[in-house]
Structure 1
Amino acid sequence: MRREWQVFRVATTYVGTVVGAGFASGQETLRFFAAYGRFGLAGVAVATALFCLFGITVMELGRRLRARTHREVLDHACGPRLGRVMDVAITFFLSATLTVMVAGGGAIFAQQFGAPYALGTLVTALLTGATILAGMRGIMAANSIVVPLLTTAVVFLVATSLHDLGVGPAFSQLAPHPALAPARSWWMAALLYVSYNLALSISVLGPLGAEVGNRRVLLWGGTLGGLTLGLMAAGMTLTVGAHLPEAAVEIPMLYLSRSHSQVVQWFYALILWAEIYTTAVACAYGFAGRLGQLWRYREAVVATICLALAGSGFGFSQLLAFFYPLFGLVALVVLAGLMRRSWRLGS
């Protein structure tokens, strides 16, 4: 396999692991960046740099430790005792986020396609289980298809919106909306955003580093992945922020798509569901990997999917609003440990 293709697959796996329902819907961008007006773009810049730095750090630790799950990376970054505590926390939140994603799949089916909510949760859960049974190769293959489609869809919506508004007028319309913000300061919101996304991504990025094994590929893949996340977030912040408060809805990016045809709206809805699926795959892989140390892997996968289906009954928006900010605070401990380790990777 050519090195350029390996870099591409690492980058798309990274992006697909971080990007989920919250990002693809525009809801995360709305709250963590656009809510701060022009300072939200500064928050995007900080988050982009941190995604590049810590994405590379986690994958390089995974390569060195030959990590099979997030546990090896956590023990190395936080120490054995605190690592055990964070292992329990991340394992719990992997399960919670998987449940959020399965619920999100049901919500998309119900709201956009007019299908039963239960059918959407079942299809999302079963496809997720089938993918993780194929291991890391299945995850990389899924992201190699979905992430370029999402990037294309986001760039199209952002570009057409900015063409209609103009970049200068869009920037001038950015204004703070404190009621939507998860933290008082823009830099704290950016830090929380990176911390919870990165902590959940360790379950895939650590084993990915061990699977790829090539340091240069991980370096360029992590950099490309982080920059892609930052560029998409910047464009979405500018366009969603320029349409506030009208765009402060359940799915802001679908609000932006209303100026286009039904075909475009349905296409973006499909892409949104696909991103829900890739994030569900990442979380299920990490959670089943931990259960697999107690049971057989296939049994762990079945248990993981059943738990997610049971929990999805609480609903998408309620689950997301409760768990994401909470885990952002908890995950700051992991970010601090990774920061300490990042200075030693050059040795």
Structure 2
Amino acid sequence: MWASVWRSVKISMTIVGTTIGAGFASGREIWEFFGAYGDNSRWGIVLSMVLFFLATVTMLQICWYRRTQHYSEMLMQLMDGRLARFFDGVILLFLLTGTLVMVAGSGATFEQWNGSYILGGLVLCTAVFLVLLFDLRGVMTVNALLMPVLTLILLLVCSHFLQTDAKEPVSVWHLSTITHQTPLWSSAITYAAFNIISLLAVLSTLGSEIRRSSEIWLAAVISSVCLGAVAYLYNMALLQVAHLVPQYDIPLFALMRHYSPWWMGVVSLVLWLAIFTTAVSNVHGLISRLSDRLPLPRWMIGAMVLIVMIPLSRLGFAALIHILYPLYGVLNLFILMILLLHPIRQRLI
């Protein structure tokens, strides 16, 4: 009983660790997808988490039933052969460039604290490599240990701000920072799809970790509630400082503008850990796929990928996000649609 619950918790924290990247932890994703819509944005978060839950359940069920070992095997269950081969290559490219963005983000974080950009990339790559020496067990363990702490810190910051600094709720009609012309439901669907490729790459390797169907549902509930609760509180807090958000690249700092430098250091560590856990998930997905193609030990494949990332990361964090993320957003939406339709198609076939 307890062993089953613990497996569900580890799986759920792996899902959370893959999803909470620097964009989520910094508040930028929450603001761009939801906050700028004002008070009604909470319904967008609810819709997004429901879709996220359904997609997560579908992915976990496929990897459990088929005992998949990497994302290519899951793709073959979702679409026909030619389309699956196309997306196989696309996801491989996504994981490589996504890892590149994380290495660049670590370098930018070190640079912000007057450190070396290259040192920031080296530290991240070394930490990721050490975790991946333990393969899937290492990935799940590091997420089980770090994600509750990271989530708790974000909840504490948002809750403390709402209790001490919050004023009256800000109406969408009073927000001068609205930048979106698309309806809220469209933004909610896009956000639900935002991390689908990374999740597909990681969850497709968990087939051997699941023992029973109940673990799938419990893991999906825990991860969706956890992400939804943080997103909801984060969104409420950011609405109180809507007039300040445009002044900050990292909206979280708008909530902490009166905090001590020590707390600023803690938050910077939280952002780096979010980058770290996402990088671990991406590289794990890469290794799982490349080990089928390369006759090398898994640790060596991981080392080769990470070594290549360091010089390429000099392309810059902001530039990489600006170029790559819009393209992958479209691909994520397509895969989300396929996942949501998969149970229906299975019943009709």
State TM-score, norm by structure 2: 0.92
1:82 to partner: Cα distance: 1.0
1:245 to partner: Cα distance: 3.3
Aligned twin of 1:126: 126
* CA distance in 2: counterparts of 1:307 and 1:170, whole angstroms: 48
1:29 to partner: Cα distance: 0.8
1:226 to partner: Cα distance: 1.0
Q: What amino acid maps onto 1:246 in structure 2?
A: L
Which of 208, 230, 233 in structure 2 is aligned with 1:232?
230
Unpaired runs of 5+ in structure 2? none
Aligned twin of 1:298: 299
Q: What amino acid maps onto 1:245 in structure 2?
A: H
Aligned twin of 1:117: 117
Asked if structure 1 preserves the Cα contact closer than 8 Å seen for 2:176 and 2:243, the reply is no
Asked if structure 2 preserves the Cα contact closer than 8 Å seen for 1:30 and 1:237, the reply is yes
Q: What amino acid maps onto 2:164 in structure 1?
A: D
Structure 2 counterparts to residues 151-300 of structure 1, below 5 A? 151-166=151-166, 169-172=168-171, 175=175, 177-179=177-179, 181=180, 184-248=182-246, 249-295=248-294, 296=296, 297-300=298-301
Q: What amino acid maps onto 1:135 in structure 2?
A: D
- SS state of the match for residue 9, structure 2? helix
1:344 to partner: Cα distance: 6.4
Q: 1:198 to 1:276 in 2, by over 3 A?
A: same
Asked if structure 1 preserves the Cα contact closer than 8 Å seen for 2:68 and 2:74, the reply is yes
Unpaired runs of 5+ in structure 1? none
Aligned twin of 2:88: 87
Give deviations 1:199-233, integer Å, cap 9, x for gaps: 22111112124322322112101111011111111
Asked if structure 1 preserves the Cα contact closer than 8 Å seen for 2:46 and 2:228, the reply is yes
1:51 to partner: Cα distance: 1.3
* CA distance in 1: counterparts of 2:28 and 2:132, whole angstroms: 27
Aligned twin of 2:104: 103
1:195 to partner: Cα distance: 1.3
Aligned twin of 1:56: 57
**Matched-pair identity in %:** 28
Give deviations 1:128-176, integer Å, cap 9, x for gaps: 122123111101111111111111111111111111244x713447737
* CA distance in 1: counterparts of 2:198 and 2:115, whole angstroms: 30
Q: 1:49 to 1:176 in 2, by over 3 A?
A: farther
* CA distance in 1: counterparts of 2:5 and 2:347, whole angstroms: 23
Q: What amino acid maps onto 2:147 in structure 1?
A: V
